[in-house]
Chain A
Amino acid sequence: MKRIWLVVVTVCLFGTSLHAATLEEKVVEHRLSNGMTLLMVERHTSPTVSAWIRFRVGSVDERSDERGLAHMLEHMLFKGTKTLGTSDYAAEKPLLDQIEQTAQLMIAEKAKREKGDKARIAELEKQLAKLEADASRYVIKDEFFDLYSKNGGVGYNAFTSRDGTTYLISLPANKLELWAAIESDRMQNAVLREFYSERAVVMEERRRSTDADPESKLWETFVASAFLAHPYGQPTIGWMPEIENLTRTKAERFFHAYYGPQSAIVAIVGDIDTKATIDLVERYFGGIRPGGMPLPVTAEEPRQAGERRIELVAESEPTLVIGFHKPAIAAPDDYVFDVITMILGEGRTSRLYKKLVIEKQIATDVGVFDAPGQRYPNLFVINASPRTPHTLTEVEEAILAELERLKTEPVAERDLQRILNKIEFEDARRMGTNGGLARNLTDYEATTGSWRYMVGYRGKLAAVTTADIQRVARDYFTRENRMVGFITKKGGEDK
C-alpha cells in the first residue's frame, strides 16, 4: 500500500492537478431548455473554429429490421433540407413520395426471392430510374458542402459508431453563424432525397471497407461471434442484405424519433467568444422541439462459457486477434483494463512489444485496444501478425503467457508511473487542436455522461493498485471468457 500512496503524491506534485484544472477552467457549459448540451472552449491560436455535433444515437440503437440505418442516415443527412439542396421542394415532394412507393414495391417483390416476378422487378426498376431522374431536376447537389466549402470550411464530415453519430466541420472563426444556420435547419427540416442512389454508395462503402480486405472481414466476423445477444455484435454499416432493404421511410422514422436537440451534444472550440456563441446557438437551436431518446439497450450478453475460435480462410497472410469480455467505460474495472492495456501494448517498452517483437521476434507488430464500443460491456482485444516462419500458435502462446504473468507477478512501480506520466503529456497535448478537443468533449460527454471524465481520469488510474491488476487479470483472462480469431492463408500449407 505504501508504494501506491507514493504514486498518488507524485501525481499531485507534477501536473495532473495543474493541467486538468486548466481543462476544467477552460470548458464553458451551457444547456438549452430543449435538452441540447453546448460545450465551448476559447482558443485564440488561430482565427478558426471547430464545431462538432454528437448525437447520442448509434447503430446499437437500431431495431433488428433496420440494421445499418444509423450509418445510412448519417449519409442521408448530407442531402439537404426543405430549402437547401432543392430549387423547389413543393414540386419535388410528390416525386419523392412516388419514388418511395415504387422502391418499397420493388423491395417487397425482391423479398420473395426466386418466387419474385422478374419482369415486375425490371419494370419497377425502370420506373424508379425515371422517377429519380425527374426528381433530380429539382436537386441542388450537395449544397451543404458547397456552402461550407466556398466559405473556407474544411474537414466537413460525419461518422457513425455503435455508440453515436457525429457531424463535424472547421470554419474561419467569422463564419460560425453559417454552421448554426445550416445545422439547425438540418436538425429540423432534413429531406432524405436521393436515398436509393446513396444506398448504392453505402454498399460500395461496405465492399471497400470490409468485404475486399481480409483483416477487416476477420474483424467483423470476430466481433459478431463475440456478441450473441447484445447488438454490439452487429457491424455498424450493416450486413449487405440489410443495407439492401433499408428504405427512406425507415430512415425518416429513425431521424424524427431521435435526432433532435435532446440527443445532441455540441462542442465549439476555437477563436470564439463564449457569451456570443451561447446567444448564437440559442437563437438558432433554442426553438427546436425535442424528441425522444433511444431506450437503453436491455439485452445483456450471456456470460461466455467456453473459448470461441473463429477462422477466416483468405488470400492473405495469417493474423491473430484475441479478445476477452470486459465492462463498459468508467466501470471500476475499466480503469484497471486501461492500465493493463498500456502495460501490455503502449509503446516500445510495453510487455508484448518487448516479448513478441524484440525478444522472441515471432511477430512484427502487436496492438492492444478495446472495442467495438464503450457505452456497454465490450472487449479487451490484442492483435498481432506472426513473422514467418513462426506460427499463429507460437504467437498465441506467447501472448497468453504474458497474460498469465499479470496474474502472478505484481507490476513494477516504475511501469505504473510511466503510465501516469504519459497521461500527463496527453492531457496537455489534447488541448492543442480545436478538432481534437471537440472530439474528446463530445465523445466523453456521450459515453460517460460528462466530459469531466477526462479531468478525473489520471487520478482514477493512479488509484489502481497492483492487487487490482492481478485480480482483474485472474477474473477476466480465462479460457471461458476468451475469443480467438485468425486468418488461414488460402491454399497455404495448413489447408
Chain B
Amino acid sequence: MKRMIISLVLLFSAFTTVFAADAPKADPRTMTFPELRYEIPKGERVVLECGMPVYLLRDPELPIVTITAMVRTGSVYDPAGKSGLAGLTADVMRSGGAGGLSPERMDDELEFMASSVESGIGIDMGTVSLASLTKNFPRTLRIFADVLLRPDFSENRVDIARKHLIEGLRRQNDDPKEIAGREIGKAIYAGHPLGAVPTFESARAITRQDMVDFHRRFFRTDGMILAVAGDFDRTAMLGELNAVFGKRAASGPPALPEIPQPAQVFKPEILHGQKEVNQTVIRMGHLGITKDSPDVYALRVLDYILGGSFTSRLTMEIRTNQGLAYNVDSRFDVGRRFTGTFMAETDTKAESTVKVITLMKEIISGMTKEPVTDLELKSAKEYIINSFMFGFTSPASIASQRARLEFYGYPAGYLEEYRANIARVTKADVLAAARKYLRPEAFKLVVVGDAGKFDKTLSAFGTVRELDLRQSNP
C-alpha cells in the first residue's frame, strides 16, 4: 500500500498539466441534466384463499425474502388504566414462544438461520416482520405465522416484559429530550387515548390474559395485509402463504372499537420541567390534520419552507444566522387515521431559552402573515418532486408502500398523482393553509431545563405549570 502511494505521487508530477487543462466542467448553478422519466414501480396485488391481500414484488438481486404484515390494531385501543398493553402484547408475541415452540427454541432456531421475526404495535398499526435468506424461508415463514396468529405468551416472558416496561418508566426522566417529547404529546392529546402513556399503575395492572385477549381481538387473517419482497418464485410463494394462512376463518366481522377524533380544542399551555443542564429542550405545537385534508399538499410545501430543510426559515435564522441551536425544525405529522400534530422543536443553551422561544413563535407566525416568496415555493416543490423516487429504492419499500396505502385507505392514484398535486400548490394555497392550521397563540409549550439560568422567566408567555419529574420509586 505504501509503495503504491509513493509511485502514484511520482506519476502525478509527470502528468498533472495534462489533467489540469482537461475537458469542460459545468457550473452547478446552471447545469442541465439528461431527462429521467420515472415510473413508480408497482407490486402485484393477490388475494390469498383466506381473503388476505398480499402485495408481491419479486427481485432476485439478493438471496433474501422480506415480509411485513400490517395489522389493524394499535396502542390507541389500550383499555383505560392499562396503557402499555399493546406494546407489551407485541413484545411477548415474539419473546414468549408461539405455536408450541418455546421462547428459547424459537430464538435458537431463528438466530441459527440468521432469520429474524419481529413484532411491534404503533398508534394505529401493528406489524410483524420477517427477513431471511431464501434457503431458510419456508421454516422462517412457519415461525412468522405462529408469532402472528398463535403466540403462546409464556408467563415467564410476560413477567420479564412487564418488568422491563416498569424499569423503562423509572428511567423515563433521565434524558431531557425524552421528557419533552413525551410531555408535548400528552399536552396536545390531553383527554384522548392518543395522549395516554404507560404509568407504574397501568404497567402493573396488565395481565397475561389481557395480552391473550388483545391479540385474539385484533390479530386475525381478515384484519391484515402482507407485503412480500425479494428473491422467490411466485407460485411457490403463494402456495406457502396459502398453506400457513389457510382458508377463510369462520369468525364474525372484525369489530374495531370506535375511537373518536381528538376534540378540536386550541388552548395554550406552558409546561416546565426542572433539570440542572446547560441546554434547554423546547417543544411547541398543537393538533394538525389527517391525510384526508385537501390541504395536505400545501402543508408539505409549507413544511419544507418553515422547518423541514436545512435552508428552512427556522434553521436559517436560529441556527445559521444566530448560532443559537444545532437542531431546529418543525413538521406537520399528517395523521393517517387520527388527527396528527404540528410540532416545532429545538434545544438551546439555558441563557438563550426565552429568546429562542420568542424567535420561533415569530417565525412560525410569519407564515400566516405574508405569502412565501416565489423562490421558496419553487425550491420546495422542486425538492419534493425530484426526490420523490427515493420513496421506492428497494423492492421491500415499494411493496410495503403499496400495502400501507391500502391499509390506511388512501385513494386510488394517490402516488401517481402526488407530484402533480405538489406542482399545483400556489403561494396563496400555502398562505391559506398556514392561516388555517398554524395557531402559535394556542401552542402547547414544553420547556425542560434549568429555569434559574434562563435569560428571562417563562411566565413571559403565560402561566407556567411545573412538571413533577420525581419518580415515585416503587
Residue ranges of A at the interface with B (Cβ–Cβ < 8 Å):
19, 31, 33-35, 43, 45-48, 83-84, 136, 141-142, 145-147, 149-154, 156, 170, 172-175, 177-178, 181-182, 184-185, 194, 196-205, 207-208, 211-215, 262, 282-284, 286-287, 289-290, 293, 315-317, 347-349, 357-358, 361, 364, 385, 387-388, 414, 417-418, 421-422, 424-426, 428-429, 431-434, 449-450
Apart from the given pairs A201-B325, A426-B114, 9 other A-B contacts in the complex at a CB distance below 8 Å: A33-B8, A83-B27, A146-B311, A154-B387, A174-B36, A194-B320, A317-B170, A422-B111, A450-B1
Query: Which one of B71-79, B275-283, B287-295, B424-432 contacts A?
Result: B275-283
Select A153's contact among B34, B171, B387, beta carbons within 8 Å. Answer: B387
B160/A204 in contact, CB under 8 A: no
Q: A47-B38, A358-B160 are in contact. Are A152 and B383 (CB under 8 A)?
A: yes
Bound complex: CA A203 to CA B350 (Å): 13
Q: Which residues from A are CB-within-8-Å of B239?
A: none
Q: A149-B383, A211-B278, A422-B111 are in contact. Are A432 and B64 (CB under 8 A)?
A: yes
Q: Which residues from A are CB-within-8-Å of B38?
A: 47, 172
A428/B63 in contact, CB under 8 A: yes
Bound complex: CA A449 to CA B2 (Å): 10
Taking CB atoms and an 8 Å cut-off, the chain B residues in 84-118 that contact chain A are: 95, 107-108, 111-115
Name the CB-closest residue of A to B173: A315
Q: Which residues from A are CB-within-8-Å of B113?
A: 421
Select A432's contact among B25, B62, B164, B323, beta carbons within 8 Å. Answer: B62
Q: Which residues from A are CB-within-8-Å of B279?
A: 204, 207-208, 211-212
Q: Which residues from A are CB-within-8-Å of B59?
A: 45
Q: Which residues from A are CB-within-8-Å of B277?
A: 207, 211-212
Nearest-neighbour CB distance to chain A for B371, whole angstroms, equals: 20
A315/B390 in contact, CB under 8 A: no
A175/B33 in contact, CB under 8 A: yes
Nearest-neighbour CB distance to chain A for B52, whole angstroms, equals: 26
| B389 CB-CB contact with A under 8 Å | yes
Q: Which residues from A are CB-within-8-Å of B21?
A: 287
Bound complex: CA A293 to CA B22 (Å): 26
Nearest-neighbour CB distance to chain A for B455, whole angstroms, equals: 15
B5/A35 in contact, CB under 8 A: yes
Q: Which residues from A are CB-within-8-Å of B114?
A: 418, 421-422, 424-426
Nearest-neighbour CB distance to chain B for A150, whole angstroms, equals: 4
B164/A315 in contact, CB under 8 A: no
Q: Which residues from B are CB-within-8-Å of A34?
A: 8, 12, 16, 19
Q: Which residues from A are CB-within-8-Å of B324?
A: 200, 204
| B414 CB-CB contact with A under 8 Å | no
8 residue pairs from A and B, CB less than 8 Å apart: A45-B395, A147-B29, A150-B379, A152-B385, A196-B323, A199-B323, A208-B327, A315-B275
Nearest-neighbour CB distance to chain A for B467, whole angstroms, equals: 14
Q: Which residues from B are CB-within-8-Å of A150?
A: 378-379, 382-383, 386
Q: Which residues from B are CB-within-8-Å of A174?
A: 33-36
A48/B9 in contact, CB under 8 A: no
Q: Which residues from A are CB-within-8-Å of B322?
A: 197, 200
Nearest-neighbour CB distance to chain A for B321, whole angstroms, equals: 7
Name the CB-closest residue of B to A197: B323
Q: Which residues from B are CB-within-8-Å of A425?
A: 64, 114-115, 132-133
B171/A385 in contact, CB under 8 A: yes
Q: Which residues from B are CB-within-8-Å of A175?
A: 33
Q: Which residues from B are CB-within-8-Å of A347?
A: 107, 111
| B347 CB-CB contact with A under 8 Å | yes
Q: Which residues from B are CB-within-8-Å of A213?
A: 175-177
Nearest-neighbour CB distance to chain B for A243, whole angstroms, equals: 12
Q: A207-B349, A287-B19 are in contact. Are A361 and B25 (CB under 8 A)?
A: no
Q: Which residues from A are CB-within-8-Å of B9?
A: 35, 262, 290
Bound complex: CA A182 to CA B325 (Å): 27
| B80 CB-CB contact with A under 8 Å | no
A207/B278 in contact, CB under 8 A: yes
Taking CB atoms and an 8 Å cut-off, the chain B residues in 328-379 that contact chain A are: 347-349, 378-379
Q: A178-B31, A283-B22 are in contact. Are A152 and B389 (CB under 8 A)?
A: yes
A212/B8 in contact, CB under 8 A: no
| B182 CB-CB contact with A under 8 Å | no
Q: Mark B1-18, 1 if CB is under 8 A from A, else 0.
A: 100010011011001100
B349/A204 in contact, CB under 8 A: yes
Nearest-neighbour CB distance to chain A for B390, whole angstroms, equals: 5
B20/A287 in contact, CB under 8 A: yes
Q: Which residues from B are CB-within-8-Å of A207?
A: 277-279, 347, 349
Bound complex: CA A255 to CA B175 (Å): 36
Nearest-neighbour CB distance to chain B for A473, whole angstroms, equals: 22
Q: Which residues from B are CB-within-8-Å of A214?
A: 174-175
Closest 8 CB pairs of A and B: A152-B386, A200-B323, A425-B114, A207-B279, A287-B20, A205-B326, A150-B382, A197-B323
Q: Which residues from A are CB-within-8-Å of B163?
A: 361, 364, 387
Q: Which residues from A are CB-within-8-Å of B316?
A: 141-142
A172/B389 in contact, CB under 8 A: yes
Q: Which residues from A are CB-within-8-Å of B138?
A: none
Bound complex: CA A142 to CA B405 (Å): 35
A149/B36 in contact, CB under 8 A: no
B167/A385 in contact, CB under 8 A: yes
| B168 CB-CB contact with A under 8 Å | yes
Bound complex: CA A388 to CA B348 (Å): 33
Select A349's contact among B29, B107, B325, beta carbons within 8 Å. Answer: B107
Bound complex: CA A130 to CA B26 (Å): 36
Q: Which residues from B are CB-within-8-Å of A414?
A: 112
| B437 CB-CB contact with A under 8 Å | no
Select A449's contact among B1, B28, B390, B393, beta carbons within 8 Å. Answer: B1
Q: Which residues from A are CB-within-8-Å of B5?
A: 35, 262, 293
Bound complex: CA A83 to CA B26 (Å): 13
A315/B174 in contact, CB under 8 A: yes
Nearest-neighbour CB distance to chain B for A386, whole angstroms, equals: 9
Q: Which residues from A are CB-within-8-Å of B395?
A: 45
B319/A348 in contact, CB under 8 A: no
Taking CB atoms and an 8 Å cut-off, the chain B residues in 414-451 that contact chain A are: none
Name the CB-closest residue of B to A492: B473
A46/B392 in contact, CB under 8 A: yes
Bound complex: CA A417 to CA B175 (Å): 39
| B61 CB-CB contact with A under 8 Å | yes
**Chain A CB within 10 A, most for which of B20, B26, B114:** B114
Bound complex: CA A361 to CA B161 (Å): 10
Q: Which residues from B are CB-within-8-Å of A428?
A: 62-64, 133
Q: Which residues from A are CB-within-8-Å of B164?
A: 364, 387
Q: Which residues from B are CB-within-8-Å of A205?
A: 326
B387/A152 in contact, CB under 8 A: yes
Nearest-neighbour CB distance to chain B for A44, whole angstroms, equals: 9
| B261 CB-CB contact with A under 8 Å | no
Name the CB-closest residue of A to B276: A315
Q: Which residues from A are CB-within-8-Å of B388?
A: 152
Bound complex: CA A450 to CA B5 (Å): 14
Bound complex: CA A358 to CA B96 (Å): 11
| B310 CB-CB contact with A under 8 Å | yes
Name the CB-closest residue of B to A31: B8
B386/A290 in contact, CB under 8 A: no
Bound complex: CA A150 to CA B8 (Å): 38
Q: A349-B108, A422-B111 are in contact. Are A181 and B133 (CB under 8 A)?
A: no
Nearest-neighbour CB distance to chain A for B452, whole angstroms, equals: 15
Select A364's contact among B27, B108, B111, B167, beta carbons within 8 Å. Answer: B167
| B394 CB-CB contact with A under 8 Å | yes
Name the CB-closest residue of B to A209: B326
B278/A212 in contact, CB under 8 A: yes
Name the CB-closest residue of A to B38: A47
Name the CB-closest residue of B to A348: B107
Bound complex: CA A290 to CA B63 (Å): 42
B171/A283 in contact, CB under 8 A: no
Bound complex: CA A141 to CA B115 (Å): 47
Nearest-neighbour CB distance to chain B for A330, whole angstroms, equals: 12
| B255 CB-CB contact with A under 8 Å | no
Q: Which residues from A are CB-within-8-Å of B23?
A: 283
A290/B320 in contact, CB under 8 A: no
